[in-house]
Amino acid sequence: MAIETSVIIITLERAALLGEALESLTSQTRKPDEVVVVDNGPGDETAAVARSFESRLTVRYAAEPRRGYGAARNRGLSEARGRILLFLDDDCQAEPDWIETLLKPLEAGEADIAGGSRDCRRPGLAARLDYLSADAPVLHPRLERRYVTHMSTSNLAMWSEAARKTGPFDESLATCEDRDFCKRALESGIRILFEPGALVHHQPPIERLADYWTRMVRYGRGTSEYFLLHRDSEPLAPLFPASPVMRLLLLPALAALGSGYLVWKNLPREPAAIWLSPLLFTGQICWQWGGYLATRQDRKAPRR
């Protein structure tokens, strides 16, 4: 029997969250033909959770000891056998119509890659700040349906042919491997559509403000590494100096611009961004610090 759809979930030492993600796939209006769980640990508990769903889903467990998002996603690509490949993160739970909604634009010929929206189900101030800083500006479920330049692999579908045409994820990037993948896809003539109706619920492991700030440093470092890699072709790269000295000197100003941008992008859907703007500013300080660390590392690295 031909395999039409493969859902790829990469996971690392989050067995309970993985179980919730897999549970959300059991009630889909359009069932996946297979689910590939890539364990980036790997560990016995994760394997046990994956295999506990074998009576309700066609689950295949793959242990990938090479750490990193790129390595794990590439293992998923090599394992999946479907004509259509879907990515779901282990800390996301899909709405029952997620697969059906996300596949419609692909099968209608509107796009080669389609990505959906994401909300935040984790309670607390820190998780809210993380959502306003990362997801809400670009993945909010009330944003318009439109063609975009990149989408998140937390909620993504593509024809396997589009994946082959684009090539593997860049394993040298700590984050933004999905953004790099989408950039190369666009350069290959592949169309990417944002379909807000394909919703997943995010439960990031963020409970304290310290978790939020740490995450912002990682985001800033990863995004800046991406901009440094593509500084000759990425339109936004000139906004972030490649010089560590200039990046440090401009850090407060860039953080102020960043927090203002977040407030603007979140309105009118998330008015709380206005009164949370001082805390968003602290997050942007951390984001820009991560960018400064990336420029320092880039100076030490050999030219590619």
pLDDT in tens, 138-161: 999 999 999 999 999 999 999 999
Whether 176 and 225 have beta carbons less than 8 Å apart is answered as yes
Which pLDDT does position 140 carry in this prediction? 98
The 8-class DSSP code of residue 135 comes to I
Q: Strand 34-39 to strand 5-11: parallel, antiparallel, or no bridges (unpaired)?
A: parallel
The neighbouring-strand residues paired with 159 are 84
167-186 pLDDT per residue, tens: 999 998 889 999 999 999 99
Whole-angstrom CA distances from 159 to 11, 51, 74, 198 are: 22, 27, 15, 17
pLDDT band at 3 (very low <50, low <70, confident <90, very high): confident
Which pLDDT does position 1 carry in this prediction? 53
Whether 196 and 142 have beta carbons less than 8 Å apart is answered as yes
Q: For residue 160, give the nearest of 50, 97, 88, 85 by alpha carbon.
A: 85
How much is the average pLDDT of 233-239? 88
Whether the predicted pLDDT of 137 surpasses 50 = yes
Whether the predicted pLDDT of 54 surpasses 90 = yes
**297 vs 23, more confident:** 23
Whether the predicted pLDDT of 27 surpasses 80 = yes
Spell out the alpha helix ranges (H) of 140-208: 160-166, 177-187
Spell out the alpha helix ranges (H) of the chain: 15-26, 44-51, 69-79, 98-107, 125-130, 136-139, 160-166, 177-187, 209-229, 244-249, 251-266, 272-275, 277-300
Residue partners of 273: CB distance under 8 A and separation at least 6: 132, 136, 262, 263, 266, 267, 280
The domains found in the chain, sorted by start residue, are 5-202 (3.90.550.10), 209-298 (no CATH)
Whether the predicted pLDDT of 35 surpasses 90 = yes
How much is the average pLDDT of 194-218? 96
- pTM (2 d.p.): 0.93
Distance CA 128, CA 135 (A): 10
Which pLDDT does position 164 carry in this prediction? 96
Q: What percent of the chain has pLDDT over 70?
A: 97
pLDDT band at 298 (very low <50, low <70, confident <90, very high): low
Which pLDDT does position 43 carry in this prediction? 85
Whether the predicted pLDDT of 18 surpasses 90 = yes
